[in-house]
Amino acid sequence: MLKLLEKYRVYLVYVPLILYGIILFILTILPGDGAVKSNSPDKFYHFAAYGLFSFILYFTLFFQNKILLLKKYTAAFTILFASLFGVLNEFNQIFIPGRSANIYDVIANFIGSLVTVLIIKFSLKILKRWNELQN
């Protein structure tokens, strides 16, 4: 699976990251009356949205070969970049009619990113051990 992702990383990782980032940004600039409404707590949506963003971002950094520091510390940079993107999106909402910034949304974004990265790291360890046992 990782070899497939790496081989077609432009189409399976880089392009999805750009598109998903644009979608997240668009959702944050919708005016308050045009924003997505739900009876569920929106923190779950923040958690899930930034979890998915972090999943794609992790593999973008993991498969790139130009900046070795990003490759070496993929987990830390994924959480940092996803959280920074979340903070900037929340800050941007201050200027959108009917919207406001919320620190709890930022926290939900961070936790979604953190949990996703931990799941990825754990999954990659299991996959590595599985491959070692197969050889």
User: What are the sequence ranges of the domains in the chain?
Assistant: 2-30+42-134
The sign of the torsion formed by the CA atoms of 67, 72, 73, 74 equals positive
* Measured distance CA(75)–CA(113) in Å, rounded: 10
Q: Mean pLDDT in the chain?
A: 91
Q: Which residues, including other chains, have CB under 8 Å from residue 85's CB and lie 6 or more apart?
A: 21, 24, 53
Ramachandran region, residue 98 (left: φ > 0; alpha: ψ -120 to 50; beta: rest): left
Q: Output the pLDDT for position 58.
A: 97
- Residue 25 DSSP SS3: helix
**Which value, to the nearest 10 degrees, does the dihedral of the CA atoms of residues 91, 71, 121, 115 take?**
0
Q: Output the pLDDT for position 132.
A: 87
Question: Which residue type is seen at 131?
Answer: N
Residue 34 above 60 pLDDT?
Answer: no
User: The pTM is what?
Assistant: 0.89
Q: Which residue has the tokens 């406001």?
A: 100
Q: Output the pLDDT for position 42.
A: 87
φ and ψ of 38, to 5 deg: -155, 155
Residue 1 above 60 pLDDT?
Answer: yes
